[in-house]
Structure 1
Amino acid sequence: MYEVDFLPVDATEGEPNTENGDAITIHFIEDATQAERVVVIDAGFATVGHQVVEHVRKFYGTSHVDLAISTHPDASHIDGLQVVVEELDVAELLVHLPKRHASPRDVQKHFVDIRAVDSLLDTARTRGTAVAEPFLGQSRFGGQLTVLGPTETLYESLLAEQLDQARTGALGHAMTLAAGGLRDLLRNVAAWGYPSEGLAEDVETSARDETSVITLVRSDGRQLLFTGDAGLRGLGAAADHYENLLGTFRTVPISLFQVPHHGSRRSLSPTLLDRLIGAQDDPHTSTTAIVSSADADPWHPSPRVTNALGRRGAALVATEGTAVWSSHRARPRAGWSPVVTAG
């Protein structure tokens, strides 16, 4: 049994916002012990963090979280985790510690949102939550949860790149410029449809986003892949590790795929999607692709991304202001209709 919830990240302090974020909760049975496990991956803004707390209590029937993961320290991903650690019993927190991998003075001066990281660590210490860093090879629950990336070496390289950009005032890559949302795309596929592959091979995302933790969860013979805001560098390396661990994606396909970076066209390429999901009209399996995208954001997900996933047979779902529940053999919820992951 497992169930995965993507809570909408659409507001700061109750005000509509076009900034996207992630707030993901996972509830599954550990194979070896038959114990129920709860994992939280990011928790949006602080206001969303309160919603995550109530969601875990109401639908998972517990105040205990076995593991919380901070993919990277953007406010729309990390701020809510402070609330989760404060209000729930979180056994362990996985979070990168930039001051261990570069000059603490340099990090304090130039690393965006270092205060959020420090505050989260202070809260974890106060609450008795164990802290570790999420690098390749970390695994929990008998290997049912595995960190596929980044490696410590890649993280340190990307951190140095971020700090250098901050010191010199260089700007990172602009975010996606393609307009349109998933609901618009689904309402009028013909109007948005590209006659051929719309994604490019030579896209690049920021060093900061590339530090995102990539997590594999396995349950009921299914593979669930969570990607944060990673781009081609991080995802390509994670794909290598996946295949070293399990075999090719065709023989051991992904059942649930978190579309990286809220559906940005700068995080995926045709070659990478061919590897992860399958070639156009020849998918590895029926994959559920879930996008966490703000309802007020006209830019995410990019129609180039949704088009490319659709061509590969993926069933596309976006939060767009509404929680998305994907489950397999989970207890029914009154008033909810699950997105049942196939494969």
Structure 2
Amino acid sequence: MGYELDFLGVGDESKSGDAIALRFGNLHGYRHEQTVVIIDGGFKSTGEKLVEHIRSHYGTEQVDVVISTHPDQDHINGLEAVLTELEVGELWIHQPWNHNKNLADKFSDGRVTDNSLGERLKENLEKAWSLIQLAEKRGITVREPFTGMQDASGCLKVLGPSQSYYEELLPDFEGMPTRAAEGLDALAGLLKSVAAKVKRFFATWGEDLLDDDAVTSPRNNSSVITQLIIDDRRLVFTADAGIQALDQAADQIEGCLSGAELRFIQIPHHGSRRNVGPTVLNRLIGYPVTQGESRAITAIASTAKASEPKHPRKAVLNAFTHRGVRVLATRGNGICHIHDAPDRSGWSTLNAEPYHFEYEDEEA
């Protein structure tokens, strides 16, 4: 049993995105011995590239599972081409408008109702709504990916979010009315774009220049987090999940009795420093190791060609590196990570990201 994992290059300029193709099983055998999965489709222009990649490198028109982790345009827009041009078995996607029971109680505006909020969610997340309509038109099974859900093989499993956590996040999605609860102004202030100053940073091996209290958006935290276990190897896909969501996924991993060891992890949100902190990285990967020591784990950040210093942050890359992880960033190019899979002609080995002892970055 092996796996073949592809991060397609997304973002010709500065806007990063995710488009991941994956197949696992007996990759030296026949198609029916394999499972093909797509996790996100990048921007609209990425969709055709993803379709061609599946045809060319996996030799099939059939995709068993397509996962839309969350409805941001850099993750969902390319999936329309996938559903239209390939034979898809299942679409895993959240349907927030179906989680509107008693939702109106969360808001100060007494004129809103559960039904009106459901319709608002359909309008605000129109791409997700239209993708589901397309899937149903094409006879594709639609499932909501909450904690514990698995694919037919039992190898692919959802670590988060739980349905209850997802419903906690919904009232704070962008475009929703003013909340009745207090304290949201502080969150808005943390996420507000400001003119950031660039300064020079000096890093020491093993020192995390990250904050355990970093905050990302509720929509990012609603991202589907999945794991694949093959040959006692664990692969974790995080999308744009933040610290709170990753902590809940770590709970699931720590409660797993498979004995599988982490061998791959996606660096969340293209390497943003608002998505990880020292404590959650210690839970998911382990504490920093001695310089030169390796844990035989690979981590990939999906980033655009010209997205630095925002994506990926050097402090984030360092945090993975000094935990013994081999760190790679796409920077607009495709990266393939394999185990017990056929070699590809013309593809070569990448050097790991160096440790950045000195770098320039934005202060905010």
Bigger radius of gyration, 1 or 2?
A: 2
- 1:60/1:104 Cα in 2 relative to 1: closer, same or farther (>3 Å)? farther
Contact 1:72/1:78, CA 8 A, preserved across alignment: yes
Select the residue among 199, 203, 208 that pairs with 2:219: 208
Q: Which residue of 2 aligns with 1:94?
A: 92
Local SS of the residue matching 2:324: coil
- 1:126/1:205 Cα in 2 relative to 1: closer, same or farther (>3 Å)? same
Q: Which residue of 2 aligns with 1:66?
A: 64
CA distance in 2 between counterparts of 1:175 and 1:222 reads 39
Contact 1:289/1:316, CA 8 A, preserved across alignment: yes
CA distance in 2 between counterparts of 1:160 and 1:30 reads 44
Are residues 1:292 and 2:309 paired?
no
- 1:333/1:211 Cα in 2 relative to 1: closer, same or farther (>3 Å)? same
1:159 to partner: Cα distance: 0.7
Aligned residues: 321
- 1:313/1:96 Cα in 2 relative to 1: closer, same or farther (>3 Å)? same
Select the residue among 163, 179, 203 that pairs with 1:194: 203
Select the residue among 54, 60, 84 that pairs with 1:56: 54
CA distance in 2 between counterparts of 1:244 and 1:238 reads 10
Contact 1:325/1:338, CA 8 A, preserved across alignment: no
1:287 to partner: Cα distance: 1.0
1:221 to partner: Cα distance: 2.2
The residue identity in structure 2 corresponding to 1:95 is I
The residue identity in structure 2 corresponding to 1:326 is H
CA distance in 2 between counterparts of 1:293 and 1:153 reads 31
CA distance in 2 between counterparts of 1:204 and 1:92 reads 32
The residue identity in structure 1 corresponding to 2:265 is F
Contact 1:287/1:315, CA 8 A, preserved across alignment: yes
Which stretch shows the higher mean deviation, 149-158 or 170-179? Answer: 170-179
Contact 2:10/2:333, CA 8 A, preserved across alignment: no
Q: Which residue of 2 aligns with 1:321?
A: 332
Contact 2:232/2:260, CA 8 A, preserved across alignment: no
- 1:256/1:214 Cα in 2 relative to 1: closer, same or farther (>3 Å)? same
1:107 to partner: Cα distance: 3.9
Q: Which residue of 2 aligns with 1:302?
A: 313
Local SS of the residue matching 1:257: strand
Q: Which residue of 2 aligns with 1:2?
A: 3
Local SS of the residue matching 2:228: strand
The residue identity in structure 2 corresponding to 1:7 is L
Which stretch shows the higher mean deviation, 300-309 or 51-60? Answer: 300-309
- 1:173/1:69 Cα in 2 relative to 1: closer, same or farther (>3 Å)? farther
Q: Which residue of 1 aligns with 2:287?
A: 279
Deviations 1:207-242 (A, max 9, x none): 110000000011122110000100111110011011
RMSD over aligned Cα atoms: 2.6
Q: Which residue of 2 aligns with 1:23?
A: 19
Select the residue among 70, 76, 79 that pairs with 2:77: 79
Local SS of the residue matching 1:91: strand
Deviations 1:179-228 (A, max 9, x none): 99xxxxxxxxxx86513321111111111100000000111221100001
- 1:38/1:338 Cα in 2 relative to 1: closer, same or farther (>3 Å)? farther
Are residues 1:256 and 2:264 paired?
yes
Select the residue among 231, 235, 238 that pairs with 1:227: 238
1:104 to partner: Cα distance: 4.5
Question: With structure 2 as the length reference, what TM-score do the two structures score?
Answer: 0.82
Percent identical residues: 40
CA distance in 2 between counterparts of 1:89 and 1:39 reads 12
- 1:93/1:286 Cα in 2 relative to 1: closer, same or farther (>3 Å)? same
Local SS of the residue matching 1:235: helix
1:337 to partner: Cα distance: 2.3
Deviations 1:11-53 (A, max 9, x none): 4xxxx3x22211000011079x971110000010111011000
Deviations 1:230-272 (A, max 9, x none): 011111001101111237xxx6431011001111111111111
The residue identity in structure 1 corresponding to 2:20 is I
- 1:38/1:110 Cα in 2 relative to 1: closer, same or farther (>3 Å)? closer
Deviations 1:53-85 (A, max 9, x none): 000000000010000000000011011111100
CA distance in 2 between counterparts of 1:271 and 1:49 reads 36
CA distance in 2 between counterparts of 1:204 and 1:269 reads 10
1:174 to partner: Cα distance: 2.5
1:321 to partner: Cα distance: 1.2
Runs of 4+ in 1 over 6 A off after TM superposition: 175-180
Local SS of the residue matching 2:54: helix
The residue identity in structure 1 corresponding to 2:191 is A
Q: Which runs of 5+ in 1 are unaligned?
A: 181-190
Are residues 1:144 and 2:155 paired?
yes
CA distance in 1 between counterparts of 2:320 and 2:192 reads 19
- 1:340/1:226 Cα in 2 relative to 1: closer, same or farther (>3 Å)? farther
Contact 1:277/1:284, CA 8 A, preserved across alignment: no
Q: Which residue of 2 aligns with 1:185?
A: none
Q: Which runs of 5+ in 2 are unaligned?
A: 101-113, 180-184, 353-364
